[in-house]
Amino acid sequence: MARTRCDRTPAWAQLQLAYDNSGKAFDLRQAFAQDAGRFEAFSQSAPYVFADLSKNRIDAATDKLLFDLARQSGLQEHRDAMFAGEKINHTEGREVWHVLLRTPPESSQDGSHRSVELAKVHETLNAMLAFAESVRSDSGITDVVNIGIGGSDLGPQMAVIALDAFATTGKRLHFVSNVDGHELAATLKTVKADSTLFLIASKTFTTIETMTNARSAKAWFEAQGGTDTARHFAALTTNVAAANAFGITTTFGFWDWVGGRYSLWSAIGLPLAIAIGAQGFREFLAGAHAMDEHFRTAPLEQNLPVRLGLLDLWYRNFHGFTSRSIAPYHSALRRLPAYLQQLEMESNGKRVDAEGAALPFGTSPVLWGEPGTNGQHAYFQMLHQGTDVVPLEFVAVKKPRHALASHHTLLLANVLAQAQALMVGKVDAGGHKHFPGNRPSTFLLLDDLTPASLGALIALQEHRVFVSGSLWGINSFDQWGVELGKVLAKDVEARLGSGDTTGLDGSTAGLLARLRA
């Protein structure tokens, strides 16, 4: 499968020209004034998600060049290679196959690798969902504590909170991720050993934070007189042997070809399945699958993940915007920004291309945000009047799941007004009260926040990250950048015990001595 790095395509040079000639000075207000059909032209429907892209600094000519860029760089071939299970994560020698986790079962098997893996996916899914149902109907279990970090925490935690309106069992779900003992200690204070189920979630079953928390949770359980580990501990991991060696016999596996930050759809989703039930979890998978099919089959020009990924590249590489802010106007989506940070920044925070050559352009933006309207009273000042332009991505939900109708009207009024204010600005000669406007935003609209629409929204984000990473020519599926700190932490841990500072830099040595004093 041939990929051409974006800056080596003819379209890249044309985009640079377009940026210099008109893109740089592009004014959204003029664009709307000149084109009554702009909203329709720059809107895109996808499964469960409607996107208004019209308040972005693009026009038909730029769009055309961006689609040319996608074609010239081999985006479709790369996408198809992912769906076909080619080992596109070449630095780890792995397929990138999270889409298989939400692919419906096939009635006949043809013996192919794909067919064998898909059968395993459904066998595990059925077992995991049966277990979730048994926990749901077990009145002896009141609390579920998920111990995991990164992809083994952010996804399930974000989704459990997002779908709280669908949680019907009354079980309390807790998430412990940090190695900071304050977190586990605080959780253990609120639960009882005989009514708690601990889920040890770790793809590798070696992550130091998770293993440390798991050992302490097990020691606490035993100190409380707990003996039935099979009932009170389950492991969600690709490393079932390590989980067994740890003393856990109830295990749900997944596979190397599921990246940690793409694992919510696997056994790592068990907390969500316990919260919303088997049917709800299947709807969640179905929503994601609908978005997968859209990404796989829709023409580039009507393909929402492609349009978003191209916009990300246009802003990062031509406009030079270094960050993107996400503003979910729904309090249940409050962990979405944290989840998206790992998805975008661990995937695309890379400085070399697939061949290991240093890149001459920027990659992952800094992703950040808070739910609206809270962000408005914190950092929106900077978004409206600061020196940097930060493209915003609003997420709004038409239908509330509460009866306080006036609140929802006010919430929707705010999200519309913010997008409007960013774009139109306000002229004031005095300076301090002047709003420059022309600040771009994307508006994602869901009819309702349901398991299916959340699944689609998350799959949309996964695929848009794929698109920009693919165009940048990087491997979006490894994460070598997290390794050095892990290795050094082991060394420093030993030195904190011994006090040995030999060979350390002056700052680390000085801080270490202070911590030991």
Distance in Å, CB of 509 to ligand F6P, minimum? 26
φ, ψ for residue 399, nearest 5 deg: -105, 125
Q: How many other CB atoms are found less than 10 A from the CB of residue 338?
A: 16
What tokens does 388 get?
A: 């940097």
Window contacting ligand F6P (CB under 6 A); options: 197-205, 347-355, 414-422, 500-508? 197-205
Return the residue of 62, 152, 348, 376 that touches ligand F6P, per CB under 6 A. 152
The one among 4, 124, 195, 204 contacting ligand F6P by CB under 6 A: 204
- Residue pair 51/443 in contact by the 8 Å Cβ criterion: yes
**Residue corresponding to tokens 């606490």:** 220
363 binds ligand F6P (CB under 6 A): no
Span interacting with ligand F6P, options 106-114, 203-211, 245-253, 411-419, rule CB under 6 A: 203-211
Q: Which residues fall within 8 angstroms of residue 481, CB to CB, at 6 or more apart?
A: 346, 349, 350
Report which secondary-structure segment, H or E, holds 46.
strand 43-46
Confirm whether 426 is a catalytic residue: no
- Beta carbon of residue 478, minimum distance to ligand F6P (angstroms, whole number): 9
- Decide if residue 4 touches ligand F6P (CB under 6 A): no
Among 286, 339, 288, 281, residue whose Cα is nearest residue 124: 281
Stretch that binds ligand F6P, among 40-48, 144-152, 164-172, 224-232 (CB under 6 A): 144-152
Closest CB to ligand F6P among residues 44, 479: 479
210 binds ligand F6P (CB under 6 A): yes
Q: Looking at 187, 196, 207, 453, which residue binds ligand F6P (CB under 6 A)?
A: 207
Q: How near is the Cβ of 346 to ligand F6P at its closest, in Å?
A: 6
Instruction: Answer yes or no whether residue 202 interacts with ligand F6P by CB under 6 A.
Output: yes
| Nearer residue to ligand F6P within complex by CB, 5 or 203 | 203
Report residue 158 as tokens.
């974000």
Burial label, 469 (beta-carbon count in 10 A; 0-12, 13-18, 19+):
buried
Closest C-alpha among 264, 276, 254 to residue 127 = 254
| Catalytic residue, candidates 346, 370, 393, 462 | 346
Task: Provide the 10 A C-beta neighbour count for residue 14.
Answer: 16
Residue 250 CA to residue 235 CA, distance in Å, equals 6
**Residue matched to tokens 């070598």:** 480
Q: Shortest distance, CB of residue 205 to ligand F6P, whole angstroms?
A: 7
Among positions 312-351, residues that touch ligand F6P (CB under 6 A) are: 346
Q: Please classify residue 120 by burial: count the beta carbons closer than 10 Å to its beta carbon, then call 0-12 exposed, 13-18 middle and 19+ buried.
A: middle
- Residue 315 and residue 19 in contact, taking contact as beta carbons nearer than 8 Å: no
Chosen residue from 156, 226, 253, 260 binding ligand F6P by CB under 6 A: 260
DSSP string, 245-287: HTT---EEE--TTS-GGG-TTTGGGHHHHHHHHHHHHHHHHHH
Asked if 150 is part of the footprint of ligand F6P (rule: CB under 6 A), the reply reads yes
Nearer to ligand F6P, 201 or 389 (CB): 201
Residues 136 and 274 sit within 8 Å (Cβ to Cβ): yes
Which of residues 40 and 483 has its CB atom nearest to ligand F6P in the complex? 483
Name residues contacting ligand F6P, limited to 451-490 (CB under 6 A).
479, 482
Between residues 259 and 451, which has the closer beta carbon with respect to ligand F6P?
259
∠ CA 347-353-358, rounded to 5°: 115
One residue of 203, 307, 324, 350 binding ligand F6P per CB under 6 A: 203
Nearest Cα to Cα of residue 259 among 456, 126, 89: 89
Instruction: Determine, following the binding rule CB under 6 A, whether residue 151 of this chain makes contact with ligand F6P.
Output: yes
Q: Is 226 in the site for ligand F6P (CB under 6 A)?
A: no
Minimum Å gap between C-beta 373 and ligand F6P is: 31
Number of residues that bind ligand F6P (CB under 6 A): 14
Closer residue to ligand F6P in complex, CB, 89/479: 479
Q: Which candidate in 87, 90, 113, 377 is catalytic?
A: 377
The one segment of 145-153, 331-339, 421-429, 447-455 that binds ligand F6P by CB under 6 A: 145-153
Partners of 323 in the β-ladder = 366
- Whether cis (ω within 30° of 0) applies to the bond prior to 249 is no
Quick check: is 486 catalytic?
yes
Question: For the CA atoms of the chain, what is the radius of gyration?
Answer: 24
Q: Could you tell me the smallest distance in angstroms from the CB atom of residue 152 to ligand F6P?
A: 4
- As annotated, the active-site residues are 346, 377, 486
Binding footprint of ligand F6P on the chain (CB under 6 A): 149-152, 202-204, 207, 210, 260-261, 346, 479, 482
